[in-house]
Amino acid sequence: MRAVDHFIDGRIWRGATSRTAEVFNPATGDVEATVSMGDAHVVEVAVKTAKVAQRSWAAATPQRRARVMMNFVTLLNQNMAQLAELMSREHGKTLADSIGDLQRGLEVGEFSIGIPHLLKGEFTEGAGPGIDMYSLRQPMGVGAGITPFNFPGMIPMWMFAPAIVCGNAFILKPSERNPSVPVRLAELMLEAGLPPGVFNVVHGDKETVTAIIEHRDVAAVSFVGSTPAAAQVYASCAAHGKRVQCFGGAKNHAIIMPDAPLDLAADALIGASFGSAGERCMALSVAVPVGEETADRLVHALKSRVESLKIGPYTSEKVDFGPVITRAAVERINSLIGRGVSEGASLIVDGRNFQLQGYENGFFVGATLVDHVTSEMEIYRAEIFGPVLSVVRPANYEDALRLVNDHEYGNGSAIFTQNGGAARDFANRVQTGMVGINVPIPTPLAYYSFGGWKRSAFGDLNQHGPDSIKFWTKPKTVTSRWPSRTVIGSEFAMPVFDNLIRTTRT
């Protein structure tokens, strides 16, 4: 049986604890590996190692840190196929989807190569008589990332790439459900020239997370997970005096206007709803066609597309999406579908009880289309995180926009239309952090920042892009004077640097 252990101080580290968890192949239901589960002692070792390594790493020039990241990007490209296969084996997503996962993470690595420019501060000469003023951005120290199962490559890279090039040491606590790719990424960073101890991986569950949050030497924490967990982590980190950003759940809507190209909208919805079995925080899980005629046409177009989707293991080249992550996830998704039907929704395509010959023990849910969903239903309110698309039928555009804005989540949204005025109005008024106009999954590129609104995100700074540099550094402003005489005199009033103003004491 393959074992996945911690990665501390540049080497695989088993630790003293004997606790382990099983890692499944979701397509077969078989145990793929076991993973060591950490505790406070493991976290203590990792933090102590990181704290020592960070001092010399922070002293390295930004150019050197950029070169390490450049080497890492090269190595990631060279190992892409191996990493994608490893990811698909433990997650279940198709190989093409795993490559996309890694590619979007790699792009943040590419953005981070620009750290010599991104860390440049500001300078004002002559801010006052003989006074110059300038700003610096310096590393936080030891940072930590707590990441979910659905993007085991991308989200860790969104965190550790900017954190490390900013001069921090980093501790990653990945999901225990698919831990192998994060360890491999740490090994590639070491191969790229990163000093041992700067990047450590510790596995575990709530016990490990609590130890990270409560450790006095962890200065900043980035978290992605469910909204209840995100809210709890945010509050706990704040109580322990840490900088923190937490990203939670989502319920992403797509408004389809009557003038929208229907085939374009239907194709976009299929890919954005069912890709990766719907296990994406940016999945479009709610279609909002405006008006009954638009809704009837859309549902008709969606039905045939949903029924034709191919579901199976990642080893098959002709698969649109694979299994979900656990058997418990299957049961939860099926339960939400059943509850929607009991509450009055119309089941157009039923993906429950999906069976695949030869993979009867796999964690599969078939593609499901549910019509006549209302905002009061649990299937609408909850983040399903599965291959389920709900259709809600508002009478007009204002009702559709209100539906999006009234939901507790505000991660992403989209509108499909040929009307520039409607698109512009939607972009301005919708209460979500990321907006697509005829784009189903508006995940920003690496040089912009990623983040939602409302209960989809907790904290003032977002992932990657300019916000990531701000999050993983602390600002310092220096006011400097080199007087030409040794005695200047005491100043008792609030300092004013304008040389046209004189404060005189008689």
Query: Which tokens go with 86?
Result: 């490893």
Q: How many residues does the chain have?
A: 506
281 classed as catalytic: yes
CA–CA separation, 230 and 228 (whole Å): 5
What are the DSSP calls for 175-232, one per residue? -TTS-HHHHHHHHHHHHTTPPTTSEEE---SHHHHHHHHH-TT--EEEEES-HHHHHH
Q: What is the DSSP letter of 176?
A: T
Q: How far apart are CA 498 and CA 446, in angstroms?
A: 41
Instruction: Check residue 150 and report its DSSP letter.
Output: S
Neighbours of 268 (CB within 10 A): 22
Between CA 96 and CA 176 the distance in angstroms is: 23
- Total Cβ atoms within 10 A of residue 398: 11
| Amino acid at residue number 402 | R
The active-site residue, picked from 166, 237, 246, 281, is 281
Looking at this protein, which amino acid is placed at residue 246?
C
Q: Are 168 and 140 in contact (CB under 8 A)?
A: yes
DSSP-derived pairing of the beta strands 131-139 and 473-481: antiparallel
**431, 410 Cβ separation under 8 angstroms:** yes
Residues forming the active site: 281
